[in-house]
């Protein structure tokens, strides 16, 4: 679960870096991360330099392991200071997570302008802790603004995401559905749990398939590469062949996710900030199953942003079952409901997100 959250934070950082490079080809960009994070692979692959420091997410529980992590994290402060002094940045940008603590704090001490990007509706610990010491905090949801009362300046920018093709023609949408051997004349529900998959969503779709509840619609399930075999075995245990399900197609991963999201009728998924942003841009009805056991239950707050405007329904992870999911899907299937919920989602979409973020960076550098 936490790996998916860290991946989202890193993707946001890379999107900001890409925008800076697009606007200023001579810009020098350095990422700071840890030796054990996804950044070890993703940052160099994107063409950026990476330095590492010791940093850990700390809990308030008293234990030897937590004490060791605390000592290493304190050591990370001096490591961050050394990197910043050597690199001499014009601005330091954080995208959330515990790594931001040391870097933003040391940049503040060195009087270097700082920005933080908070992608969730309920700001995390790092953002709240650093609010007084950060020059600008950029947020993705209006709901987040009142939750950072100590911030010097808060700006609504939205969350940077991958490019989404919003203009698929009817024929292009049909081709996307047919790629998965589904009938384009019948509603299609896309269920997924991020790149890692979501065990609870997978189990619920398996039960739904076993009970043959999807009479009025089809399902495309992206199980996650690591969970595909488990889904296959679970279906086999119910005497079902994963390749011969009625109106249900299970795949490990979807590479053209933006196109598929555009082509389907309803989404069943977690409610990370990136997913929320993409859904509002596409204008798609959603059924959210917020990821449990994450900081401040932020996915629940993210999902509520869309539920409040009539664009989504929320089902708790622990209470999710095949019957309730089927009922929620069937309640959305008529054309008027699909269109209304989709339009409601579009109402809170934010345009020109990367431009907004870059403008704040530029203003802060010029002010400095």
pLDDT at 118 over 80: yes
Residue 152 and residue 124 share a domain:
yes
Beta bridge partners of 219: 189, 248
pLDDT at 156 over 90: yes
pLDDT at 76 over 70: yes
Residue 153 and residue 7 share a domain:
yes
Residue 193 and residue 272 share a domain:
yes
Higher pLDDT, 69 or 89: 89
pLDDT value of residue 251:
96
The sign of the CA dihedral 248, 250, 253, 255 is: negative
Residue 132 and residue 10 share a domain:
yes
pLDDT value of residue 164:
73
**Is the residue at 212 inside a domain?**
yes
**Is the residue at 164 inside a domain?**
no
Residue 214 and residue 154 share a domain:
no
Residue 317 and residue 186 share a domain:
yes
Give the separation between CA 344 and CA 311, rounded to whole angstroms.
Answer: 5
The candidate with the shortest Cα–Cα distance to 249, out of 332, 176, 327, is: 176
Residue 326 and residue 178 share a domain:
yes
- Number of H-type helices and E-type strands within the chain: 15, 12
**Is the residue at 195 inside a domain?**
yes
- Token pair, residue 159, equals 């969350």
**Is the residue at 165 inside a domain?**
no
Domain with residue 214: its CATH number is: 3.40.50.2000
pLDDT value of residue 65:
67
This prediction's pTM: 0.86
Tokens 């005497």 identify what position? Answer: 239
pLDDT at 3 over 80: no
Residue 318 and residue 275 share a domain:
yes
Give the lowest-confidence range in 232-241, 286-295, 340-349: 286-295
Alpha-carbon torsion, ordered 320, 322, 328, 331, to 10 deg: -170
pLDDT at 38 over 90: no
**Is the residue at 256 inside a domain?**
yes
pLDDT at 2 over 60: no
pLDDT in tens, 300-342: 999 999 999 999 999 999 999 999 999 999 999 999 999 999 9
pLDDT above 70 covers a percentage of the chain that reads 92
The total domain count for the chain is: 2
Residue 356 and residue 337 share a domain:
no
The candidate with the shortest Cα–Cα distance to 344, out of 287, 289, 285, 268, is: 285
pLDDT at 195 over 70: no
Q: Residue 285 in contact with residue 257, Cβ under 8 Å?
A: no
**Is the residue at 185 inside a domain?**
yes
Residue 254 and residue 304 share a domain:
yes
Which uninterrupted H or E stretch holds 337? Answer: helix 335-347
Range(s) of the domain holding residue 93: 2-158+351-367
pLDDT in tens, 246-279: 999 999 999 888 899 999 999 999 999 989 999 9
Residue 277 and residue 140 share a domain:
no
The candidate with the shortest Cα–Cα distance to 257, out of 274, 233, 232, is: 274
**Is the residue at 293 inside a domain?**
yes
Q: What is the mean pLDDT of residues 13-41?
A: 90
State the average pLDDT for the chain: 90
**Is the residue at 139 inside a domain?**
yes
Residue 200 and residue 144 share a domain:
no
Work out the pLDDT band at 1, boundaries 50, 70, 90. Answer: very low
pLDDT at 180 over 50: yes
Q: What is the mean pLDDT of residues 80-92?
A: 96
Work out the pLDDT band at 294, boundaries 50, 70, 90. Answer: low
Q: What is the mean pLDDT of residues 107-113?
A: 96
Q: What is the mean pLDDT of residues 140-157?
A: 94
């Amino acid at each position: 679960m936490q790996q998916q959250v860290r991946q989202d934070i890193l993707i946001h950082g890379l999107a900001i870096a890409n925008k800076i490079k697009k606007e200023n080809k001579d810009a020098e960009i350095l990422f700071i991360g840890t030796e054990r994070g996804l950044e070890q692979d993703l940052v160099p692959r994107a063409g950026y330099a990476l330095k590492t420091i010791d940093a850990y997410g700390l809990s308030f529980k008293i234990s030897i392991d937590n004490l060791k992590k605390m000592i290493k994290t304190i050591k990370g402060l001096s490591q961050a200071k050394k990197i910043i002094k050597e690199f001499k940045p014009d601005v330091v940008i954080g995208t959330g997570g515990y790594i931001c603590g040391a870097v933003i704090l040391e940049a503040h001490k060195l009087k270097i302008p700082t920005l933080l990007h908070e992608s969730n509706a309920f700001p995390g610990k790092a953002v709240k802790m650093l609010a007084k010491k950060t020059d600008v905090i950029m947020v993705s949801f209006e709901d987040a603004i009142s939750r950072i009362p100590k911030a010097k300046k808060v700006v609504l920018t939205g969350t940077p995401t991958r490019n989404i093709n919003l203009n698929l023609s009817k024929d292009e949408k049909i081709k996307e559905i047919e790629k998965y051997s589904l009938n384009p004349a019948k509603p299609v529900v896309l269920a997924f749990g991020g790149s890692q998959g979501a065990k609870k969503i997978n189990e619920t779709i398996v039960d739904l398939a076993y009970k043959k509840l999807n009479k009025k619609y089809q399902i495309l399930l992206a199980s996650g590469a690591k969970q595909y075999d488990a889904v296959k075995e679970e279906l086999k245990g119910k005497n079902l062949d994963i390749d011969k399900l009625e109106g249900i197609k299970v795949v490990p991963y979807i590479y053209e996710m933006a196109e598929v999201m555009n082509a389907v009728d309803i989404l069943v998924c977690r409610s990370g900030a990136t997913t929320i942003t993409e859904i509002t841009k596409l204008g798609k009805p959603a059924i959210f199953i917020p990821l449990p056991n994450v900081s401040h239950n932020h996915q629940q707050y993210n999902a509520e942003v869309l539920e409040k405007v009539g664009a989504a329904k929320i089902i708790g992870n622990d209470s999710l079952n095949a019957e309730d999911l089927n009922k929620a899907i069937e309640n959305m299937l008529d054309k008027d409901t699909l269109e209304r919920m989709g339009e409601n989602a579009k109402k809170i979409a934010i345009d020109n997100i990367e431009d907004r973020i870059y403008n704040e960076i530029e203003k802060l550098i010029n002010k400095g």
